[in-house]
Structure 1
């Protein structure tokens, strides 16, 4: 246990120091408007150079600061959460590899090093999703890996397309590419790659499935690392993506993702999956605001969301531990009476998620919805934004009703205690950030004031929608009004909405079942069929047969018969010539 403690503490200490370093560098870079671009030549052979390039500006340093802060909290939290794990070192090393891949992705101005970080995230996330080795984890890991491979393929295609330019440092070519019509192809490929990593429709089903990973991993993956990689990539490529037709498609798909995740979360009973669907909804919000051409705002929401979502997952982990590893919210209840400190953290992070004024989520969400009202959008997108905002408060209220207000439903023996100080300390650090980070970032990121003029009704629209979501969530969770719950009797509609619009079925059967079955048939008929017959063992068999015939010919007196046969043929030939 001492050895396990030491690796946890060392990792926590170094990540925390790295976070402080990034913070001071970021402040210095931001106020002095500094950007550092470093190139390190690895190999130089004749005219071929292989270089490693790094880009340090306020954006990459700020993002690295947030990643290292959350990951240091998660590793400290893992010391207690994973304390019964025999191979805790292996788990911590995997998490550190994951963080290193994300940092490589953040500081890369080069599409090849982005691929290394991108693929590193996909590979390590597969190892972490299948960490608890059972069939459910294996299926979830395979789904996650195969979905993310689609994005990897598109990035490889971008690398091959950028051979036209003489360098893979895309950061220098963005303005040039935006004028070049053929380079719109790169833009559309970047969008598809980002959609797979950030789980937009139709690639959404892997994100709730990835909940098979241990809870500290979920807190890291679904707040600041894996799922935000796609959003960050689009923020970096933003100047290339302007005035593209594909962006309208992205706006529609991300709006639908936001809406679909909000509805599905209201039907879900698995605590971690509800929070995962909430992440999916917020990712849809980030992608949609990006597709409207507001990268600073998307980055602002990405960072503020990372804090309270990591905290929310950590609180869920504590509750799951205390419930003897049960994740069904119907079994829970009365948490505020027995674990007040964890309940406080959970409620504050939930309120920040809803965008309650002056918490972290309020500053970004309110600004986003105000910009949506000012922009020239159609009614469908407008309604998708507002319905999704209402649904966020709807499922949050439902969660709070089940967890805090209902009666404890599980077993007669209460096993609830709030004295795991290691977990509480790691949560309190994020609790402080969840309250303060919104106002801090709004001062830091936006050097210019946003002047937003709206009529009173439109300005208060956010509050109206929030209040309606609150009332509906209370009524449906409390089962107080029978007529409201009538839609639960529409079995087929409920099934459709609760199964994420049948996306997991389509991806599981369509992607995994048919593709993997196809590969099984190919292996059976080609690798072990024709290929086996005409290569490898088959060739050995054929050569062996020929050599056996050869030996038979050599052992017999074939040459005598052949000599007499040739003599006889010559004699017949001479006779024929004489006769004619």
Structure 2
């Protein structure tokens, strides 16, 4: 009963607060209202510590979506994690995670942002290592240490902002572009966002974090941890518009999008395919943000959160029924075994691909048309559209391997759609995946922009999606013996499938070599020369002096005679004899 009560109470509270925030966010958006709340925590002589909260339509909308998704995830966890003896601890960790995200969202102050930022890092580590095994521990260390780079960058930005007399960065947004020091702070903030949102070269921790339980993945990879960096840059969007920093981020995020889309086409782990899909979408958000369209990036952030959470929850239901098997080659024909779950999975997949009138269509189609309308170079243009084609390609490859074709699992299998609690959790998100895109589109862009393009450019997005779907499905369907050449080019396949060798480089570059160098420095300097020339040397000298002093005090005649002879000889030498 305790398990049911804590899950249900958390679900109910979160869903009610989410609805309240959505209504408030809509009112703030339509009335163009912003509220600052300042709370003086401590006043000592002339110094005061003030906690500032920023409530505007962006923070309220984002909090509403985070709370809605986390409520569905907690409700879903009641059945998914039912065999766990410590489910209360799990729910409390998830709530701490959501609380850290809330603190980050409503903070216009770099100090309070750091509290939420580090809270996300700490709780994510606890959740990644939740299943106590070697793989989880390795993934947790990689996640924590990769994110520490961004934490240090944020600390340096805080230290640098002491020159301005306040850490409330919102007051300095207007002067940021014209001030070199603020551009330096902006560079540090961009580095922090790159690590948290897993852009190249910090991408390897995101698929590794799939070691966490699937409900956590649904929350982390849709609306909380990985989107924190995007959200921070949305707040600092002035720094990226028509600046060198923006051009650099456009290149990095475009390559991230391309690399993740390519890698997902060579992956066979169900959760890792969806994780690489998240990475690809993060690259898309970051790239449109670096072009200066922060509203579009935020719009896609919200719609992506809906269908990605649903995608993870459907994957979790399949994995749960397959007794924790995640290999898509062992699935197949699931549409006959789990029709309702596969229907949800298909809808989430189509929303990801940008199927007209689902959530992803309204944001992705608008982003791609704005790219065509913008003054962007041909390389970035190619990355945008080719990566979109790859997204549809791996989505339909996933459909072929898991939903259609022959059933490849064992004969005695427990595949069914009887997990009523998990299905209810998915249905709540399914509703928003269908109507969320149009609802947000009407709210955020009430006056539609007319994008005038030639017919071949207007149809380009649709053509790329159709071609990607055909390639993804047909290449998977065609016989391996005659047509699949990827095994002939094993090195290229391995390079693409391992995210351009980034996990190896990150593991060696971020964890192994720095720790080994630290150990050698510690052994040679702290425990070596410093001891020999410092404390240990003094210790030996004092021990020697103490032994001599002690022997002199033993009242031994031979010692006295010896010391008298030495004294006499020295006296003779000094007197010149």
TM-score band, normalised by shorter chain: over 0.9
Cα offset, 1:525, TM superposition: 3.4
Question: Alignment partner of 1:486: what SS?
Answer: coil
Deviations 1:476-526 (A, max 9, x none): 110258665224411111111111111111111222221222233334434
Maintained 8 Å contact 2:240/2:289 = no
Structure 1 residues not aligned, in runs of 5+: none
- Give the match for residue 439 of structure 2: 440
Rounded to whole Å, the distance in 1 between the matches of 2:531 and 2:518 is 16
- Give the match for residue 133 of structure 2: 134
User: What are the residue-to-residue correspondences of 1:37-76 with 2, within 5 Å?
Assistant: 37-76=36-75
Rounded to whole Å, the distance in 1 between the matches of 2:4 and 2:537 is 56
Cα offset, 1:28, TM superposition: 2.4
Rounded to whole Å, the distance in 1 between the matches of 2:247 and 2:131 is 40
- Give the match for residue 476 of structure 2: 477
Which moved further from structure 2: 403-412 or 316-325?
Answer: 403-412
- Give the match for residue 218 of structure 1: 217
User: What are the residue-to-residue correspondences of 1:383-422 with 2, within 5 Å?
Assistant: 383-422=382-421
User: What are the residue-to-residue correspondences of 1:38-187 with 2, within 5 Å?
Assistant: 38-187=37-186
Rounded to whole Å, the distance in 1 between the matches of 2:322 and 2:497 is 24
Question: Alignment partner of 1:551: what SS?
Answer: helix
Which moved further from structure 2: 232-241 or 164-173?
Answer: 232-241
User: What are the residue-to-residue correspondences of 1:164-313 with 2, within 5 Å?
Assistant: 164-313=163-312
Which moved further from structure 2: 59-68 or 12-21?
Answer: 12-21
RMSD: 2.2
Rounded to whole Å, the distance in 2 between the matches of 1:185 and 1:402 is 48
- TM-score (structure 2 length as normaliser): 0.95
Maintained 8 Å contact 2:341/2:423 = yes
Which moved further from structure 2: 188-197 or 267-276?
Answer: 188-197
Rounded to whole Å, the distance in 1 between the matches of 2:87 and 2:537 is 48
- Give the match for residue 495 of structure 1: 494
- Give the match for residue 26 of structure 1: 25
Maintained 8 Å contact 1:148/1:196 = yes
Between the two proteins, the alignment pairs up a number of residues equal to 576
Rounded to whole Å, the distance in 2 between the matches of 1:520 and 1:575 is 57
Cα 1:571–1:32 change in 2 (3 A) is closer
Deviations 1:194-247 (A, max 9, x none): 111111111111100110001000000000000000100110001233232121
Rounded to whole Å, the distance in 2 between the matches of 1:424 and 1:460 is 37
Cα 1:540–1:425 change in 2 (3 A) is farther
Cα offset, 1:333, TM superposition: 1.2
Cα 1:532–1:463 change in 2 (3 A) is same
Maintained 8 Å contact 2:242/2:291 = no
Rounded to whole Å, the distance in 2 between the matches of 1:573 and 1:360 is 101
Question: Alignment partner of 2:160: what SS?
Answer: helix
Deviations 1:537-560 (A, max 9, x none): 886666455433332222235895
Structure 1 residue 350 corresponds to structure 2 residue 382? no
Which moved further from structure 2: 399-408 or 229-238?
Answer: 399-408
Cα 1:209–1:218 change in 2 (3 A) is same
Cα 1:412–1:523 change in 2 (3 A) is farther
Cα offset, 1:32, TM superposition: 2.3
Cα offset, 1:31, TM superposition: 2.4
Maintained 8 Å contact 1:8/1:75 = yes
Rounded to whole Å, the distance in 1 between the matches of 2:542 and 2:90 is 52
Structure 2 residues not aligned, in runs of 5+: none
Cα 1:551–1:396 change in 2 (3 A) is same
Cα 1:483–1:296 change in 2 (3 A) is farther
- Give the match for residue 511 of structure 1: 510
Maintained 8 Å contact 1:175/1:240 = no
Deviations 1:42-63 (A, max 9, x none): 1211222111110001110000
Maintained 8 Å contact 1:152/1:193 = yes
Rounded to whole Å, the distance in 2 between the matches of 1:311 and 1:305 is 10
Cα 1:64–1:537 change in 2 (3 A) is farther
